[in-house]
Structure 1
Amino acid sequence: MRPENQTQKRQFFKQMRRFFRNHNDMAVKLKYLACLEATLEPDDIPKTTEPVWVLGKRYNAIHDINKIRQDVVSKVWITYRKNFIPIGGNEGLTSDKGWGCMLRCGQMVLAQALVSLHLGRDWLWDPQTADQTYLKILRKFQDSRQAPYSIHQIALMGASLGKAVGQWFGPNTVAQVLKKLVKYDEWSKLTIHVALDNTVVVSDIIELCLTKNKLDGANLTKTDWKPLLLIVPLRLGLTEINPIYISGIQKCFQFKQSLGVIGGKPNVALYFIGCVGKEVIYLDPHHTQKTCTVDDKMTDEQIEADSTYHCKYASRINILRMDPSVAMCFFCKTEADFNEFCQRVKSDLIDPEKEPMFEICYNKPKEWSPTLENAVDAGNASFSDFQGTSGKFFDSDHEFEIL
């Protein structure tokens, strides 16, 4: 019998534990586990008539469950790793377990931006894919000193912002680090803007993204748009999400430009990629895998390495369980995308809300004194400082105004 609710599931697992205590034959146990896997439906997406949103795409949980799972597994999933080359020298850390979850979430957002830019939002992964553009993107996040967006590069760039290797990052810090790193990667053709003080300033983005280039053999110029990853760090409460922001969070996942949310729950960083009702859907970086290389995906080991960058099933939690320190992420490939984004922010997030999550304006107010770009998150403590403690740690951005 397949358990249909949480009570039945608890009873089912009690029966399973009792079975394992009473049977010593390993063959019998393996057969039992195979039957269990075949009968238990994954609890990743609820059976509901409410729409399921994944980075701007709408699905029906009843009719589109396979499409939803294919979309989820196609996202680049980046987790803790172990036994990589030491960070910062021979005595450096060789694993990011316990401290690198927010760094991994930042990698996932950037990887999805590059996939959307170079392969398209509708691109789907399968275990046999050998697409060279996809593999090139993946190699940029491998755990090596040479990869431009590796854990090594992010951790060391974080040190320049006051975060020693091994310290937790908050959403603002990882956004500022990615903004700096992307400038050194010409192939990606991407620019990152971090909106400060809960305000998206349109003129700043236009100045950043619009470039004029001379046409060969003529005095004419053309204007090009540099694809934009927009990150908006926010503080949506003191120690928990203020319920007035639930609607805004839900609407952000419905934007065509949605690239998810860097955030988490207390003590845990997560990458939120969608929502269903009042629950958010996320990818969890808290799985320690061995360091591996994909290269050109020619060997069995490299094929297996590729599979470690894709999560079969997403997870979900109630929006109110999210940590209030978040960073909303959006990808605008073209100027038209950005103009549409601005219109939707006004119509969906500002006009109907008593307390908008963030504002949008064309020019900076004259009296505005924005937070310094290199400001970092609260809590200058290393992972070792918290071992043996109660585990209480709020990875926050104290410089953002509490609304």
Structure 2
Amino acid sequence: SATLTYDTLRFGEFEDFPETTEPVWILGREYSALTGLIRNTHTQERKKKRVDDSVCDFSSEKDGILSDVTSRLWFTYRKGFPPIGGTGPTSDTGWGCMLRCGQMILGQALMCRHLGRDWRWVSGEEQRHEYVNILNAFIDKKDSYYSIHQIERLCMPWLDKAEACAASEGVGELNGYLEGACAFSEEETALWKPLVLLIPLRLGLTDINEAYIETLKKCFMLPQSLGVIGGKPNSAHYFIGYVGEELIYLDPHTTQTAVDPCEDGTFTDDSYHCQHPPCRMHICELDPSIAAGFFCRTEDEFDDWCMRIRRLSCNRDNLPMFELVESQPSHMVSVDAINLTPDFSDSERLERFFYSEDEEFEILSF
């Protein structure tokens, strides 16, 4: 069963995409929301798209939009999972939305890495083992690599500097879990490993600066896009695209019963996919604090991403959200302050950074 926890509409009342000539962008893919319309570009691929062993027939691009959205991993509040830490909460309702959004953007990266961007989920069909392995890594139990139990253990201690140093040691542990969660191809060279970029940004003081809006939209058009984590104050969402002046997002604020896998490790996965039209909100309602995500499988994809970002930076009509530089700017904290050498553990590096006397900081109240 599912419980909607605040202002989300009931499942049967979600608003469909409007009839509009504006293109719909979902994580680097362009669609049209006009009923019955299929673009001339790549028409055959769009009308009958073979994805691995399954064939998806779309009568319109609107069906393709919903299929694309439904294929994203949808992590929401859960109730009835094993207590966090052994004696902690058994539900994350009311406090876990940001962690769930983090799971969604990480899940999208793993899907791109192991299944490809064009893979599509179909309810009731037997799924590939790569997909099952990915989803198993997020099941709400202590021994799942990216469960809320693991993430909460690392995130909650970041309340003060000393505990932050201790928590950073656990980040290195999770980095190693990825290899266990999914099998890697032996063909990959040691010179490049698939890269996930998460870039925290502040696009205004209390409201998003309109000068950044067009650049933010263009981020969803990049083929390397993983989407954006953000939302409203105290309410996080996972943004996967836009249409016109509205952002398209997956909302974690639905409480569902925790999934308990069978003895053979199988489980029903329907509750991990949003099977109704996604939510939308006007882009001006977005809180200015966001994190933009990108995935580059190969070095060529990274070079392509760099080229596209530089082009965005050169556009005089829009203000870039960030820029790429060839070397570290002189005003940034020096490497010596953090001492990024193999001889120091993560906690020692952070401690050196926090207690460095190179700079003094003062918190000002306004």
TM-score by length of 2: 0.73
Matched, 1:282 2:282: no
Distance 1:136 1:53, change over 3 A: same
Once the two structures are superposed, residues 175-211 of structure 1 have per-residue CA deviations (whole angstroms, 9 ceiling, x without a partner) of: 9987862333324579xxxxxxxxxxxxxxxxxxxxx
Shift in Å at residue 266 of structure 1? Answer: 2.2
Shift in Å at residue 128 of structure 1? Answer: 2.1
Equivalent residue number for residue 48 of structure 1: 20
Equivalent residue number for residue 176 of structure 2: 183
Equivalent residue number for residue 314 of structure 1: 278
- Which of residues 331, 334, 343 is equivalent to 2:295? 331
Shift in Å at residue 355 of structure 1? Answer: 3.1
- Which of residues 288, 292, 312 is equivalent to 2:259? 292
User: What SS class does the counterpart of residue 245 from structure 1 fall into?
Assistant: helix
Q: Which amino acid aligns with 1:239?
A: T
CA distance in 2, matches of 1:298, 1:290: 18
Larger Rg: 1 or 2? 1
- Asked if 2 retains the 8 angstrom alpha-carbon contact of 1:107 and 1:149, the reply is yes
Q: Which amino acid aligns with 1:58?
A: E
Matched, 1:254 2:251: no
CA distance in 2, matches of 1:179, 1:46: 45
Distance 1:269 1:322, change over 3 A: same
Q: Which amino acid aligns with 2:153?
A: L
Matched, 1:225 2:192: yes
Distance 1:240 1:362, change over 3 A: same
- Which of residues 130, 133, 140 is equivalent to 2:130? 133
Equivalent residue number for residue 97 of structure 1: 93
Distance 1:135 1:275, change over 3 A: same
- Asked if 1 retains the 8 angstrom alpha-carbon contact of 2:79 and 2:258, the reply is yes
User: What SS class does the counterpart of residue 228 from structure 2 fall into?
Assistant: strand
Shift in Å at residue 282 of structure 1? Answer: 0.1
Distance 1:297 1:268, change over 3 A: farther
- Which of residues 257, 260, 263 is equivalent to 2:230? 263
Equivalent residue number for residue 61 of structure 1: 33
CA distance in 2, matches of 1:180, 1:257: 26
Equivalent residue number for residue 28 of structure 1: none
Equivalent residue number for residue 240 of structure 1: 207
CA distance in 1, matches of 2:235, 2:21: 30
Shift in Å at residue 366 of structure 1? Answer: 3.2
Q: Which amino acid aligns with 1:86?
A: P
Distance 1:242 1:264, change over 3 A: same
Equivalent residue number for residue 140 of structure 2: 143
CA distance in 2, matches of 1:177, 1:330: 23
Equivalent residue number for residue 11 of structure 1: none
- Asked if 1 retains the 8 angstrom alpha-carbon contact of 2:212 and 2:318, the reply is no
Q: Which amino acid aligns with 1:268?
A: S
CA distance in 2, matches of 1:98, 1:320: 24
User: What SS class does the counterpart of residue 125 from structure 1 fall into?
Assistant: coil
**Total equivalences in the alignment:** 297
Once the two structures are superposed, residues 264-320 of structure 1 have per-residue CA deviations (whole angstroms, 9 ceiling, x without a partner) of: 112210000000011100000000011113469887xx22xx000000121100111
Q: Which amino acid aligns with 1:45?
A: F
Q: Percent identity?
A: 47
Q: Which amino acid aligns with 1:361?
A: V
Once the two structures are superposed, residues 337-388 of structure 1 have per-residue CA deviations (whole angstroms, 9 ceiling, x without a partner) of: 100001100102444355321111122123312798999xxxxxxxxxxxxx
Once the two structures are superposed, residues 100-139 of structure 1 have per-residue CA deviations (whole angstroms, 9 ceiling, x without a partner) of: 0000000000001001000000000011232111011001
Structure 2 regions of 5+ residues with no counterpart? 1-11, 38-60, 161-167, 339-345, 351-361
Equivalent residue number for residue 123 of structure 1: 119
Q: Which amino acid aligns with 1:48?
A: T
TM-score by length of 1: 0.67
